[in-house]
Amino acid sequence: MAKLKGIMIPLAALLICGWVNLSFAEDRKININELLQETQKASDKIEEMILIWWIPEEFWRVSFERDPTITAAQTEDFIKILRPYLLIVAVDGNVGAFGGVTYKPEATTRNSIEVIDGQGTHYRPMSADKIASDATNFLSMMKPVFANMLGQMGQNMHFFLFPAKNAVDQDIALAKHEGTFSVKLGNKIFKWRLPLGSLLPQKVCPVDGEKLSGAWKFCPWHGVELKPLQ
């Protein structure tokens, strides 16, 4: 618990900053705005306040590596706590005629949320008795951080842990590897196609030299295979 508390203070500061350029050890800049955009999905209906945020391991890694007070060993200790899980944050609310939001309680959201892997297998949130105590403590500490940052919406951000691997020990979602997975909330499905471009070096179109997402294989305008950016 003490180790977690030591990490949470700088993490909260990083989250509050809005956006900063974070970096991996190889010194390639990662834009937190782009990473957040790729890991968050939201309903486009004005009468709904629905947000699904998948927080992959890379989010924590780039955040901690930005802070010189956190050692590499502390970073690894923290990531090991969450590595057995797929972490999904969900907000589920209805917007009234005058803009007020009625949020659904944690229990209601828990009963209606599922993860669906690339093979179509459905996973329910893990029960408390299946989650390690350090991971439970971490989630308990994160909730007030988001409540302080985002007010009522933050108070209604619910954290759910799903298994990170399927029945044959394969990863359900890896941010830097090819694949797909979805989160189903009620009758809505939010899908991710991987890898996340924000975590990969950009590629270049050999026709006109335009820099494009590292997650793409072909130029969408010229149809040619993209090349690594030199």
* Residues 204, 154 share a domain: no
CB 203 within 8 A of CB 227: yes
**C-alpha–C-alpha distance, residues 204 and 197, integer Å:** 13
State whether 8 and 79 are in the same domain: yes
Count the domains in the chain. Answer: 2
State pLDDT tens for residues 170-197.
999 999 999 999 999 999 999 999 999 9
- pTM, two decimals, is 0.84
Helix (H) or strand (E) holding 5: helix 2-16
Same domain membership, residue 86 and residue 96: yes
Residues 151 and 192 in one domain: yes
What confidence score (pLDDT) does residue 209 get? Answer: 92
- Token pair belonging to 189: 């499905």
Instruction: Describe the crossing of helices 2-16 and 72-82 by its angle, rounded to 10 degrees.
Output: 90
Shared domain check, 194 and 133:
yes
Confidence of residue 109 (pLDDT cuts 50, 70, 90): very high
Task: Please work out, in degrees rounded to the nearest 5, the angle formed at the alpha carbon of residue 52 by the alpha carbons of 50 and 57.
Answer: 165
Domain limits for position 223: 200-230
Helices first, then strands: H and E counts in the chain: 6, 14
pLDDT in tens, 113-144: 999 999 999 999 999 999 999 999 988 888 88
Is residue 19 predicted with pLDDT exceeding 70?
A: no
Q: Say whether both 205 and 103 belong to one domain.
A: no
Provide the pLDDT for residue 28: 52
